[in-house]
Amino acid sequence: MPDSTADADRLDPVASTARMTAALRARESARPDRLFDDPLAAVLAGDTGRMLADRAGEVDAIPVRTRYFDDLLLTVTGAPDAPRQLVMLAAGMDSRAYRLPLPATVLYEVDRPDLLRLKESLLGDAPPRCARRVPVGADLAADWANPLMTAGFRPGEPTCWLVEGLTQYLEERDVLRLLDRITELSAPGSHLLTDFVAGSLFHDASVRPMLSLLERSGAGWRYGTDEPGPLFTERGWRPETASYAAVGQALGRWPRNAPRGGELVHAVR
């Protein structure tokens, strides 16, 4: 399954970071003490993703975040009253449909049509491990809810939402709009898994090189918060938060003197 340079070059800068994330997951998967194994990550990253990952250097947040959400997804979907719908917004080059055992789950992957087309070409005939994988081509800055429902999503049933590595690329008003729309589509018993970079990171000298790299590539960060809880409580969700630093240190992937990084959130409706 060769990389498609022509297709990769047509991706917008934020979509291209999905390939960098895949490269960082492939790097973690090659470690003897890996936190997870993502056998498709290297193919999904391609030369584009590897180049971006090399420029970014070590990014502890990606393996920490991936493992944290892996564990939560298996816990949520494995419960007796588990939601049977899993929606990944800005799914990017995520391969959980293929590497996590989700036999009772219909998994909807929502992202830009051009990115999903590239992903399909790279995945080839790899068999998913979920009940059904449904790609949904839609722009999250426009109307994505109607394409999702057209693809079979049922808003009257509980849903597990995963919004990973997205909010920092949005303006604050778009983050709030996204949370409002998810809430409107979430029946009681739904779960929302997401993350936020810390607002204080925007002024932290230690992360300035990475932020400058993202800005030069056209994918600069726009939003962060040190207190995400109220975003959920005022919309009727019950959130639990954990800092990247706390989770990363528990996993042996976060230096003791490093910034807290941001917050990982699991909210229940």
Question: The domain containing residue 227 runs over which residues?
Answer: 5-268
Per-residue model confidence (pLDDT) at position 8: 47
Q: Of 110, 66, 108, nearest to 86 (Cα)?
A: 108
Residues 156, 187: Cα–Cα separation, whole Å: 6
Residues 169, 27: Cα–Cα separation, whole Å: 23
Specify the pTM. Answer: 0.92
Per-residue model confidence (pLDDT) at position 6: 44
Per-residue model confidence (pLDDT) at position 36: 98
The pLDDT of residue 143 is above 50: yes
Q: Please list, in sequence order, all residues whose beta carbon lies within 8 angstroms of the beta carbon of residue 113, skipping any fewer than 6 positions away.
A: 137, 138
* Tokens read off for 75: 């816990």
pLDDT tier for residue 49 given thresholds of 50, 70 and 90: very high
Q: Of 63, 26, 55, nearest to 210 (Cα)?
A: 55
Per-residue model confidence (pLDDT) at position 1: 42
Give the mean model confidence (pLDDT) for residues 260-264: 91
* C-beta of residue 77 within 8 angstroms of C-beta of residue 105: yes
* Residue 70 Cα to chain centre, angstroms: 11
The pLDDT of residue 2 is above 50: no
- List, for residues 189-216, the tens digit of each pLDDT value: 999 999 999 887 766 666 666 666 666 7
* Tokens read off for 112: 């830009």
Residues 119, 134: Cα–Cα separation, whole Å: 13
* C-beta of residue 23 within 8 angstroms of C-beta of residue 41: yes
Q: Of 40, 1, 36, nearest to 19 (Cα)?
A: 40
Q: How many CB atoms lie within 10 A of CB 144?
A: 20
Give the mean model confidence (pLDDT) for residues 114-138: 95
Q: How many CB atoms lie within 10 A of CB 50?
A: 19
Query: b or e along 89-125 (b: 16 or more beta carbons within 10 Å of the residue's beta carbon)?
Result: bbbbbbbbbbbbebeebbbbbbbbeebbebbeebbee
CATH number at residue 138: 3.40.50.150
- Domain count of the chain? 1
Q: What angle do CA 222, 206, 249 make, to 5 degrees?
A: 95
* Tokens read off for 138: 């839609």
pLDDT tier for residue 261 given thresholds of 50, 70 and 90: confident
The pLDDT of residue 159 is above 80: yes
Residues 97, 120: Cα–Cα separation, whole Å: 13
- Which residue, chain included where needed, has tokens 């493992």? 67
Q: Mean pLDDT across the chain, nearest whole number? A: 91
User: Which 3 state secondary structure label does DSSP give 171?
Assistant: coil
Query: b or e along 173-212 (b: 16 or more beta carbons within 10 Å of the residue's beta carbon)?
Result: ebbeebbeebbebbeeebbbbbbbbbeebeeeeebeebbe
Give the mean model confidence (pLDDT) for residues 91-99: 97
Residues 199, 190: Cα–Cα separation, whole Å: 27
